Amino acid sequence: MNEIQILIVDYGSQYTLVIGRTLRELGVRSAILPPEKAIYFLSQNTPKGVILSGSHHSVHDVNAPQLPENLDLSGVKYPVLGICYGMQLLSHTLGGVVDRPLLHREYGPAMVSLDVNHPLFLGVEQQTQVWASHGDTVKELPKGFHSIGTTKGYAAMTDAENRILGIQFHPEVVDTKEGKKILQNFLNICETKIDWNPTNIIKEIQKEVLDVVNTSLGKNVILGLSGGVDSTTLAALLAPVLGDKLVCVAIDTGGLREGELAELKINAKSAHVSNLVVISAEDEFIKNISTTTDAQEKRGKFREVYSKIFEEQILKHNAGFMIQGTLATDIIESGEAGKSALIKTHHNVGLLWSVDDLHPFRNLFKYEVREIARTLNLPKEVYERNPFPGPGLYLRVVGVPVSKDYISLVRMADNTVTEIVKKHNLEKEISQLVVCLIGIQSVGVKGDERVYGYSLLVRAVKTIDFMTAQGYYFPENVVNEITSALTQHKEIVRVLFDMTPKPPATTEFE
């Protein structure tokens, strides 16, 4: 395996893994490590470049994370690029001044003016839109540095040799229009080579899993199959190397959408899964989850039943390993990657199993898994499939305890909206559709009667990686059609549409 070319030091930004993904898109492998682990890495390796990520910290925090003590700042061994907190940390450490203005916080899109003669900004528009998300700013540059970009303050800096660089905005976020070009320029400065492709990743993952599985004598491997792109791709990738040792377990949680179980079975076939076990556990899930309306608690209750069922399967099938299609995004959002803050608990992250737990896709993003699925010749229905949360429709009944009736209602509603979206050929424009029951009663009128009923909420988002998302605006005729179809149900008096972007909202309500 090729050596890691770029070290990304993770200071806990929500976007750190997106930097790694963007570098892979540019064909370059990288390692993302927290500062403490980066020290060890740097003591053993000389990468071709180092990127310092953003952070929710301020350099003035008492416990502000620091630069790895053995990071070479002479520019001799490798170029260094500080992004946001990374730039502030470089400035602060090298004798510049980082200010903490009370009022001037930049958040969201901003225009910057760049020195396009600098190698970092070659080929970039002089005035370009970037994504900024910071409270602190660099007020004075360190000695020997000069500005190569401005907004209201310094947006970018360089040393005289163009080796130690800083940018205040986030090039890895898609809202930075020319961010990818800027990262490509940094790779050019680092003189990296192209070394990432899906075929290599498939081989690496097969080898990684086989090496681990071969250490146990005769133990089988359980894979939680949801029918979604991640677990199906993982099954297709492992089926040829694990053969009969691979036991795929699918649970009918009662929170599945219309026709989803049938689809799962078809997808398992196209992944050449030979051992598929389907467990029906609707009653058990409902009984447990209906005891709370709190979003985190509901997820907790879902996890309890989910892990209990898998533990039973582990015993039954003499398994030594649990393999899941957990992605980098799930790990970041659960606060497990580096130091990123907890947003919500994904159902399949951080569960403790009685056997070894493997997450071979832990460094990959959705679009990369889709690429792997395509490389494995899986059908379009698999690699183009929109994501759906593991706890399923249980997260789509908001504010009232879940019941079989409410789950059927959101299932029907989801199916109705999905069909309307298909009919109007809007599938390509939407990354995910969320239809939920909002458990607040309000007054309506049906026929001549006053009705006191619930609302359904429809939310569609457009996104590349679900780290950020834009709310989708349905055309007016489609809004009317959806509203009319959903209010046919006797208990539904209103249909709400939600276009809030992420952040500040998330895709799901819970």
- Tell me which of 86, 165, 390, 487 binds ligand XMP, using CB under 6 A: 390
Number of residues that bind ligand XMP (CB under 6 A): 15
Stretch that binds ligand XMP, among 130-138, 197-205, 489-497, 499-507 (CB under 6 A): 499-507
Residue 465 binding ligand XMP, by CB under 6 A: no
Stretch that binds ligand XMP, among 74-82, 185-193, 344-352, 485-493 (CB under 6 A): 344-352
- Tell me which of 29, 57, 163, 346 binds ligand XMP, using CB under 6 A: 346
- Tell me which of 246, 391, 396, 436 binds ligand XMP, using CB under 6 A: 391
Residue 506 binding ligand XMP, by CB under 6 A: yes
Q: Annotated catalytic, 172?
A: yes
Q: Which residues ranging from 408 to 437 are in contact with ligand XMP (CB under 6 A)?
A: 432
Say how many C-beta atoms besides its own lie within 10 A of residue 496's C-beta: 12
> Of the residues 172, 368, 491, 510, which is catalytic?
172
Residue 347 binding ligand XMP, by CB under 6 A: yes
In the complex, the smallest distance separating the C-beta of residue 342 from ligand XMP, rounded to whole angstroms, is 11
In the complex, the smallest distance separating the C-beta of residue 30 from ligand XMP, rounded to whole angstroms, is 23
**One-letter identity of residue 16:** T
**One-letter identity of residue 164:** I
In the complex, the smallest distance separating the C-beta of residue 456 from ligand XMP, rounded to whole angstroms, is 17
Nearer to ligand XMP, 338 or 390 (CB): 390
Residue 508 binding ligand XMP, by CB under 6 A: yes
Say how many C-beta atoms besides its own lie within 10 A of residue 261's C-beta: 15
Tell me the DSSP string of 25-94: HTT--EEEE-HHHHHHHHHH---SEEEE---SS-TTSTT-----TT---SSSS--EEEETHHHHHHHHHT
- Tell me which of 389, 487, 492, 493 binds ligand XMP, using CB under 6 A: 389
| Residues paired with residue 358 on neighbouring β-strands, in sequence order | 323
Do 195 and 2 touch, CB atoms closer than 8 A? yes
Tell me the DSSP string of 229-255: HHHHHHHHHHHHHHGGGEEEEEEE-S-
* The two three-digit tokens of residue 11, written as one number: 């200071």
> Of the residues 57, 118, 170, 359, which is catalytic?
170
Q: Report the SS3 class of residue 471.
A: strand
In the complex, the smallest distance separating the C-beta of residue 61 from ligand XMP, rounded to whole angstroms, is 26
Cα 491 from Cα 155, distance rounded (Å): 54
Do 422 and 386 touch, CB atoms closer than 8 A? no
- Tell me which of 109, 387, 444, 471 binds ligand XMP, using CB under 6 A: 387
Residue 21 binding ligand XMP, by CB under 6 A: no
Stretch that binds ligand XMP, among 129-137, 215-223, 249-257, 345-353 (CB under 6 A): 345-353
Stretch that binds ligand XMP, among 105-113, 147-155, 234-242, 383-391 (CB under 6 A): 383-391
Q: Which residues ranging from 309 to 338 are in contact with ligand XMP (CB under 6 A)?
A: 333
Among the listed residues 100, 83, 175, 110, the one whose alpha carbon sits nearest the alpha carbon of residue 138: 100
Q: Annotated catalytic, 170?
A: yes
Alpha-carbon separation of residue 12 from 46, 179, 462 (angstroms): 23, 20, 25
Stretch that binds ligand XMP, among 22-30, 172-180, 239-247, 346-354 (CB under 6 A): 346-354
Strand 6-9, strand 49-52: pairing: parallel
Q: In sequence order, which residues have a C-beta less than 8 Å from that of residue 246 and are 6 or more positions away?
A: 220, 221, 223, 235, 238, 239, 273, 274, 275
- Tell me which of 295, 470, 502, 503 binds ligand XMP, using CB under 6 A: 502
Alpha-carbon separation of residue 195 from 23, 30, 38, 206, 311 (angstroms): 11, 10, 21, 18, 39
Do 58 and 136 touch, CB atoms closer than 8 A? yes
- Cα atoms in the 13 Å half-sphere on the side-chain side of 193: 4
Residue 385 binding ligand XMP, by CB under 6 A: no
In the complex, the smallest distance separating the C-beta of residue 217 from ligand XMP, rounded to whole angstroms, is 32
Nearer to ligand XMP, 7 or 332 (CB): 332
Instruction: For the chain, give the longest Cα–Cα distance.
Output: 81
In the complex, the smallest distance separating the C-beta of residue 4 from ligand XMP, rounded to whole angstroms, is 28
Cα 315 from Cα 265, distance rounded (Å): 23
In the complex, the smallest distance separating the C-beta of residue 394 from ligand XMP, rounded to whole angstroms, is 10
Binding site for ligand XMP (CB under 6 A): 333, 344, 346-348, 387, 389-391, 432, 466, 502, 506-508
Active site residues: 84, 170, 172
